[in-house]
Each structure stands twice: as structure tokens, then as C-alpha cells.
Chain A
Amino acid sequence: MIRVTAEGASRVLFDSLTQRRAERMSFPVNIYSDTTRYAFALTSGEEWLEAIFERSAMLINPECGPTQSFSLDTVFSSFDSTRISNRFLRYGSPNVYNLEIYFK
């Protein structure tokens, strides 16, 4: 079982019955902050992960309005290890991994 929540989020971000099904997870980053802190409830216990982003905003044009881009800068966690595989967060790209998490 794996269940992911985040500080400031109004609902659970990820909920899976088995770790096998949780090989790939995707959950949103806090659009109002440079840092998102996630809490993982696993079968083996609880872990946490803090992701720090470089956030940049721009006005696409007056008709389309604003947009934000996020780039993964630093990750702290209680996991065995983590590896940033792709810093730039791209919405709607399921084949692009940003972070690899290694369990004990």
C-alpha cells in the first residue's frame, strides 16, 4: 500500500493498494510555492520527500493569459536515495520521469 499526501493539499494525491502498482507515480506540485513536501504512507512505514523547484512565470499573451514553469532543483527525503532524472516538469508527459526513488 502506498498513499501520498502533501502539505497544503486538500486531498490525497496518490493512493495505491500495492507497491507493485506504484512503480510509476505522478502527483502535482504546489503551484503557490517553491517547495512541496510530500508524505508517503507505505506498508513498511512512513517516509517524506521535500522537492524544491525553480519557479518561473510568464504571460503567454493577453488572450491566453499566464503560465508557470517548474524546474526541479533539489530533493531532500527520508528514502534510501533519490535521483533527479529530468529537472523540467512537463504537464501531460507520462513517459518523462522527473525523479527516481529507491527504497530500502
Chain B
Amino acid sequence: MYTILKSILNNAVQTWRMLVFLTAAAAAPVGVQAQSKYIPNGVRVGANVIPLAATAAKEGVEHYEITGDIDFHKYLFTVDLGRAKLNRSGDGFRFLTSGAYFKAGVDVNFIENVPGSHVLGLGLRYAQSRFNAEFDWAEQSDIWGDRIISISNDGVVTRWFEGLGILKVDAWNNIQLGFSLAYKFAKKTKSTKGLSPYDIPGFGLSEAATLWSFNYHVYYYIPFKKEKQQ
């Protein structure tokens, strides 16, 4: 913890130094130093463990999410891709939601100067989920008789944004562990005529306007510098 705080402080000081340097240099050629800073050091690919655990533990849940990011100085361009099939069933009904989603955005790493490829930062994502919903239930009526009602809704699209707090740490060799806390907001759903969605893949319960979620990732870090040295 002390090391991380010290690194954040060092980083802030270095950023300040860089600003002073840029101001002092004015029109001087600073291109070489600045350009090298934005060359990526590596990519990180991984999987979100929470959906995998839900798939293993909960009946009717199939949810997978992979993720990847690439760094440009302190900025990490991140993409998450997910697929989910969620089956809610109960007394005389079945609600099936299946679809895919993506989340894309940028994270800012406040400790990019710390040795290793640790990340402590904040991020913002744009997310979009496209899914199909199928709802079957048994209806009973003494006037209209007893029947099974089936309603489906294909191609429902929901978009939202996520603000994140992120921590990614080296665990062993190139294996990294990541933790993030996401606040999902500004949700908007299209094409719900006839059937309101219950689950939104990648978001959660449809009835919620905003949601908090915790994510736990396992990554494999592929450094570019190592490849160049070989």
C-alpha cells in the first residue's frame, strides 16, 4: 500500500516536471521523448471470473466475458466482449434472454511509472448489448380457457456507460489479477415492444436504472519489449 501511494506521488511529481519541461522548452523539439512515451509496452488479455463463477454455480446461467487492453503511456484502451444466456424459470413460466455485448473505453493509470505492469486508475466505458428475449408462460382463465402464451422480442438493443475504479497487479510471471468496481448508468433500451426485458446481458436487471458491479479478472500480459529484444 505504501509502495502504491509512493508511486502515485512520484507519478504526480513526474507529471509536474514534464509540464515544466514542456513549458520551458516552448517550441523546442520535444518530439522524440514525447513520442516514445506513447509506444505501447504490451497487451493484456483475460477473462472476467465473476461470470464464469456464476455459470458454474447457478442453474440456467451461461455467461462468458473476455477482455483486453493496450497501453499508450498512462492511458489503456480497453475492450470487453461478452456472451450470455440467462434462463429464468419458475412456476409455469420460462424467460430466456440470450445475446452478446461489448464495452469499450479508456482507463487512466496513475502508477504507470511503477516497475512492472501494475494499474491503479479510473476508467470510462461505453457499453452496448444486443439480445433476444423469449417469454413462455401458462395462463389460466375461466372465460378464455387455459393456454401457453409465447412472446419473443428479437434484436433488443441496450446501451449504457460505466465508470470504473481499477486495480491490476502482477501475480506470477505474466499472470495478472484485476479488480474493478463499476458504476453503470445512463441506460437506454430500444425495441421492447410487446415484451419488457428482464435481464440485460452485460448490464444486469433491466428494472434498474443504475447498478454497481464488482469484477474480478485474470489476465495474461504479453509485453512487446520482450519480443523486440529476442
Contact = CB atoms under 8 A, between A and B. Distances in A.
Partners in one complex: yes
Interface of A: 8-11, 13, 28, 30-32, 55-59, 62-63, 65-66, 68
A59 B93 contact: yes
Given A11-B143, A32-B139, A32-B147, 14 more contacts: A9-B144, A11-B142, A55-B194, A56-B193, A58-B198, A59-B93, A59-B198, A65-B90, A65-B91, A65-B92, A65-B93, A65-B137, A66-B135, A66-B137
Interface string B192-212: 011110100000000000000
Contacts, number: 56
Interface of B: 88-93, 95, 135, 137, 139, 141-145, 147, 149, 151, 193-196, 198
A63 B135 CA distance: 15
A68 B90 CA distance: 17
- Chain A facing B: main interface SS: loop
B189 to A, nearest CB: 13
A56 B196 contact: yes
Contacts of B145: 8, 10
B60 to A, nearest CB: 10
Contact of B142 (A10, A32, A57, A68): A10
A30 B144 contact: yes
